[in-house]
Structure 1
Amino acid sequence: MPSQGDALQQARADYDQHMGSCRQCHVDTVPCPVAKHLLRLYNNARRTAAR
């Protein structure tokens, strides 16, 4: 079972990878819905790891 630190790192990596590869996020200044969702997952993992 992955630890909370692993989940946090994976969520951040997923978000960074998406931001680097998504054409809409790269061109527009407004993140796409997928980027918003991935950022929400990262923030939730960060809050969980802080507890």
Structure 2
Amino acid sequence: MPSQGDALQQAHSDYQQHMQTCRQCRADTVPCAVAKHLLRLYNNARRSAARAD
């Protein structure tokens, strides 16, 4: 099972990669639904890591 730090890093990486490769996110100023979901996962992982410290 990955540690919270690994989960945080993976969530951030997934979000950044999506923002760079998604045609809709690159063309529009509004992120697509997938980007919003990935950002929500990243924020949840960040909050969880902060509570653990």
Tell whether the structures are fold-level matches, with TM greater than 0.5: yes
**How do 1:1-51 and structure 2 match up within 5 A?**
1-51=1-51
Unaligned runs of 5+ in 1: none
Q: TM-score, normalised by structure 2?
A: 0.95
CA RMSD, 1 decimal: 0.3
Distance 2:32 2:42 in 1: 16
Q: TM-score, normalised by structure 1?
A: 0.99
Gaps of 5+ in 2: none
Q: Which runs of 4+ in 1 moved over 6 A?
A: none
